[in-house]
Amino acid sequence: MSEPLDLSLREQAAAVAAGEVDAAELLQACLERIEERNPALNAVVETFPERSREMLAAAPAGPLRGVPIVIKDEWPLPWRAQRFGAAEMLAPTAPGESAPYRALRDAGAVIAGIGNMHELGAGSTGSISVYGPARNPWDTERCPGGSSSGPAASVAARLVAGAVGADGVGSIRYPASYCGLTGLKPTFGRSAMAGHHMAAVSNTIVSGALCADAADCRLLDSVLFGEELRAGNPEGLRIGVLRGEVSEDVAPAVREACEGAIDDLRRETGGEVREIELPELAVATLATVLIANSESLGGVTPERLNDLDPELSPIGRGLLKYRVLLPAIATIKSQQVRTMARQTLARVFEEVDVIAWPTVPAVAPPLEAPLVELPSGTLTADAANVRGGALANLTGIPAISVPVGSSEGLPIGLQLQAAWGRDELLLDAAEALERGNGRRWVEATPPAARGAETLEA
Amino acid sequence: MEASNHSDDFIPAGLAAYGIEADEIELAVIRAAHQTFWPPILELLELDTSQVPTERAPDLSQPPPSR
């Protein structure tokens, strides 16, 4: 048998259940690997071996019994309040039993550590965090993606086989793409969210799994959903593609890999590709950003903004203050744009089963300067990434990022989006895509997980 | 009067109206954000949405109820 930690999530779960792997030894190996590999990655910002061992000792015979998991610094645990990657949050926090924690505990999983994240969840790169940035296991000078930077880097470096992230504006899918993982942003409301400090006010954020492949995501997301996400047959898949910025103003290698992957998916499912139109896409992107930024303003007062923790990054402080200048009329119109986009999508999903475009328009940029070169020019990665990531959060539909190629030794991801409640179809389609490319990209492992080999080798 | 994204007046005046202080670095961040967001916000404001109903308490786990 391979090193147990290098098994897939489902293989780890099966091996523990069959008595082939001792769960205590698996946890110990996980903690030792974190100690060994994490200093170069800063993916895990805290471990608590005694708490993890207590979870294991009390673990019921659930689908993830004895399997180590990393959870993003976005939910409270009974022994730890979340920090949201920041020196200060504008929301009260305290230790507690969040819904993702309960779901993992009741499934028998063991929380092995806390995953780093972009400060306040306000970035797609992971380049800013109170803990210092997490680093991409494919190249530690590159961004891991955000805001679920640590969960993604943890899985890519094989510290754990599965991690729980959160996605408010692409925050599971961007790091999945940058780190060569599969990451599902569930339909709004389907996955465990209670206990998150914005759960009561947010219409955009969901929890979801980051894993090496779709089958592992299916297992971990089934736990987060509280229901089995059954596998189906995506035969005859109708794939919608969109001309324009989101699929054409992308790096040539990304465009080539994603177009090839769409063809693989069509061929593997015996499906067809249809062109679609989403006239509201550009304004929907802005609407998402405005809504997501205004959802968190309830706890803001001028006095609090004048007394921000100096350890909060200057960018974080500036953006918090800028939010109060955003006009209310723009937020109201954004809600109408959401209605328009939802109506358009409802019509589109009568014609196609999934919509496909690159998850992000370029591979992971340098941490030092998170800029990307696109045909239209140089953009900040945040400005470029949000074009493709926002629509699913605005409208509530599910979306998944699947690794489909590489460039400069860095992974490329294809995003698939489906109608409300069709999360299972996205997992089916992702598995079909894996079959279509011989699982080449989901089985690729980064240098941080296997020495100095490169993805291209 | 034509709209603009000129931030020299808007940002300090807006912050002052709320009594919010900002140092030079924060102001630079705010100006950069404003340059990014304001032009599309002005485009959004130009959009006539008078015929678009806002979904009341939308259930984002489902498609819109009527279309």
Q: pLDDT tens digit string along A199-240?
A: 888 889 999 999 999 999 999 999 999 999 999 999 999 999
d(CA A338, CA A347): 14
Note if A185 is an active site residue. Answer: no
Q: What phi-psi label fits residue A352: left (phi over 0), alpha (psi between -120 and 50 degrees) or beta?
A: beta
Q: Single out the residue of A192, A176, A173, A238 nearest to residue A391, CA to CA.
A: A173
- Whole-angstrom distance, CA of residue A47 vs CA of residue A42: 12
Q: In a structure prediction context, what are the per-residue pLDDT tens digits for chain B, which is 67 residues long?
A: 666 666 678 999 999 999 999 999 999 999 999 999 999 999 999 999 888 877 778 899 999 986 5
Mark whether A171 is an active-site residue: yes
Q: Average pLDDT in the A179-184 region?
A: 98
Residues in chain A with CB shorter than 8 Å from the CB of B19 are: 302, 306
Partners of residue A283 in chain B, C-beta under 8 Å? 40, 43-44, 47
The neighbour count for residue A304, using CB atoms within 10 Å, is: 13
Average of per-residue pLDDT values in chain A: 95
Q: Which residues of A touch B13 (CB under 8 A)?
A: none
**Residue A2 a catalytic site member:** no
Residues 6+ apart with CB under 8 A from A308: A88, A317, A320
Distances (CA, A) of A65 to A11, A218, A371: 12, 16, 42
Question: Tokens at residue A390, please?
Answer: 């926002």
Per-residue CA distances from A397 to A188, A342, A366, A447 (Å): 7, 9, 31, 34
Tokens 């955009």, residue? A204
Chain A interface, best mutation among B15, B29, B35, B48, by max A CB count within 10 A: B29
Burial label, A18 (beta-carbon count in 10 A; 0-12, 13-18, 19+): exposed
Which pLDDT score, from 0 to 100, does residue A295 have?
85
- The model's pTM is 0.96
Judged by CB atoms closer than 8 Å, whether chains meet at A333 and B14 is answered as: no
For residue range A348-396, list pLDDT tens digits in order: 999 999 999 999 999 999 999 999 999 999 999 999 999 999 999 999 9
Q: Give residue B57's pLDDT.
A: 83
Position with higher pLDDT, A150 vs A449: A150
DSSP class of residue A239? E
Q: What is the pLDDT of residues A120-163, one digit of tens each?
A: 999 999 999 999 999 999 999 999 999 999 999 999 999 999 99
Pairwise CB contact (< 8 Å): B26 & A317: yes
Contact B37 A317 (CB under 8 A): no
Query: What's residue A40's pLDDT?
Result: 97
Distance CA A139, CA B50 (A): 50
Residue A457's pLDDT is 35
Residues in chain B within 8 Å Cβ distance of A347: 67
Strand ranges of the sheet holding A182-185, from the earlier edge strand across to the other edge: A44-46, A110-115, A68-72, A162-167, A206-211, A182-185, A399-407, A410-418, A354-358, A238-242, A272-276
Tokens of A396: 């509530």
Range list of H helices, A97-233: 99-106, 149-156, 173-179, 214-225
Is pLDDT at A455 greater than 80 in this prediction? Answer: no
Query: Is the CB of A339 less than 8 angstroms away from the CB of B61?
Result: no
The answer to whether the CB atoms of B15 and A325 lie below 8 A apart is yes
| pLDDT for A2 | 72
DSSP state of A262: H
Gap from A284 CA to chain B (nearest CA, Å): 10
pLDDT level of residue A453 (50, 70, 90 thresholds): very low
Spatial distance between the Cα atoms of A162 and A10, rounded to a whole number of angstroms: 10
pLDDT at residue B5, rounded to an integer: 63
Q: Cβ contact (<8 Å) for B41 and A306?
A: no
Res. A1: pLDDT tops 70: no
Q: Measured between beta carbons, which residues in chain B are less than 8 angstroms from residue A327?
A: 41, 45
pLDDT value for A454: 43
- The number of C-beta contacts closer than 8 angstroms across A and B is 122
Q: How far apart are CA B57 and CA A201, in angstroms?
A: 12
